[in-house]
Amino acid sequence: MEQFTLIIVVGWFLVGAIFIGSSASYFLYMKRKAGKFWQINANKDYKPSVAILVPVHNEEKTIQLKLKNLERVIYPTQTEIVIVNDSSTDKTLEEIGRYTASNMGINIRIFTEKEHLGKTKCMNLALKSISADVVIVSDADCFWPSDILLKALPFLSDPSVGAVSARELLLNPEGSWVTEGEQFFDNTVEAIRIGESKIHSTIFFHGGFAAFKRSSLGEFDLEVDDSGTALSIIQKDSRTLLLPETGFFTPFPTHWRNKLTIKIRRASQLQQVWAKCLKLLIKGKLRLPNRIALPEIFLHIFNPELLIAFVAITIFGTIQDPIFFAAFFLFLCFTLLIRKTRTIVLEVLQNNLILLAALSSFFTNKGFRLWKTVQESRSLITEDALKQKNLV
């Protein structure tokens, strides 16, 4: 029995070490790479023509603030703002009309689809009429600092770069323990994405700010939206970068249930992208370097299953050797008293559980093609909150 218990304990340590060590080692490796200099020829005099696509579906409460924010963006030539209206049934179009009536200097064009097709299908239809050098996508609940184009677009002057994205910054990082955890998660993940960008590319793109060279952009990916589009550009031998120099602001839910709605959708989309990468890798057609693709595929698709194995061995081990595992739980409880450690442990467990939940939608082929807005996030967008960040 003692030998059997030893095997359980060794197996428990091994599974735990792989589960924790794989993500920790990849983070540390990419964090070191993130501190390196860019191997990019960014020309500050590069001033391409720009079209900003703003997809909307029932955004009457936020659209005027969005337009106020875009009007403040500094750029030497006039930009075209294309509102991609996916069959809004509220007063979104009326609010746009009110704003343009009193702000004649802003160049706004509205593309309207009467049938509710979903964000990506609508944007692809609108894209057919875009001739600008650079196409930028920005969701209606995301707000830019006024200098974002001056900082981001020079990176697209490098012939090897096909698209760039910006960091996600929360409007309400201290709103609750939920937003504090999300801010920690964003900082951790974005350190990884910046490291990947310094090496070659990242496919993790945000809908708040995603700028694409029109020559590199065929159409937006119907299945996986922003990140799927980034992958398609990489497959054309262009780089896709997350820039630490730039960021956009967006609200995040303060309630855990609403966080789950957003995170499971994002996790499912990322798993679909990495499943595509796995298929391309097997066929020998993936253009993303293996030192980025292999760890990401493992962490998003396979590592969450190790959590199940770890929990199962822990339960079985507790039955076999309650003293040893009681000591482990006591140690765990002690470490959770430390706020930073508690945040790390809870986010690691939570995000792997979210990946497990997302896997169910992946294997059942359940997509997220139509929008599902979390209303709590929209309620956090106020003029006062935006003024505090100098966004309107």
Question: For residues 73-112, b (16+ Cβ closer than 10 Å) or e, as one string?
Answer: beeeeebbbbbbbbebeeebbebbeebbeeeeeeebebbe
Query: Tokens at residue 307, please?
Result: 């959590």
Q: Which residues of 44-67 are buried (b: 16+ CB within 10 A; e: fewer)?
A: eeebeebbbbbbbbbbbbbbbbbb
What angle, rounded to 10 degrees, do the helices at 339-363 and 303-320 form? Answer: 120
Helical H runs in the chain? 2-34, 63-71, 92-102, 119-127, 148-152, 177-199, 225-234, 256-282, 290-297, 303-320, 322-335, 339-363, 375-379, 383-388
DSSP strand pairing (161-170 vs 239-250): parallel
297/356 Cα distance (integer angstroms)? 14
Place of tokens 């996030």: 377
- Per residue in 4-50, pLDDT tens? 778 888 888 999 999 999 999 999 999 999 999 999 999 999 999 99
Structure-token pair, residue 338: 């430390």
Please report which confidence band the pLDDT of residue 57 belongs to, taking 50, 70 and 90 as the band edges.
very high
Helix axes 63-71, 92-102, angle to 10 degrees: 30
Residues 222-247 have pLDDT tens digits of 888 899 999 999 999 999 999 999 99
Q: What's the CA gap between 199 and 263, in Å, rounded? A: 27
Domains along the chain with CATH numbers: 1-392 (3.90.550.10)
The half-sphere exposure of 210 on its side-chain side, counting CA atoms within 13 A, is 23
Task: Output the CA–CA distances (angstroms, integers) from residue 101 to 104, 170, 231, 348, in the order listed.
Answer: 6, 31, 40, 49
pLDDT-above-70 percentage for the chain:
96
- Does the reported pTM lie above 0.75? yes
| Pairwise CA distance, residues 132 & 79, whole Å | 9
Residue 204: how many other CB atoms lie within 10 Å: 21
Residue 372 has pLDDT above 90, yes or no: no
- CA distance from start to end of the chain: 69
pLDDT given at position 363: 62
Over residues 297-352, the pLDDT tens digits come to 999 999 999 999 998 998 888 888 888 788 888 888 888 888 888 888 888 888 99
Residues, the chain: 392
Cα 134–chain centre separation: 21
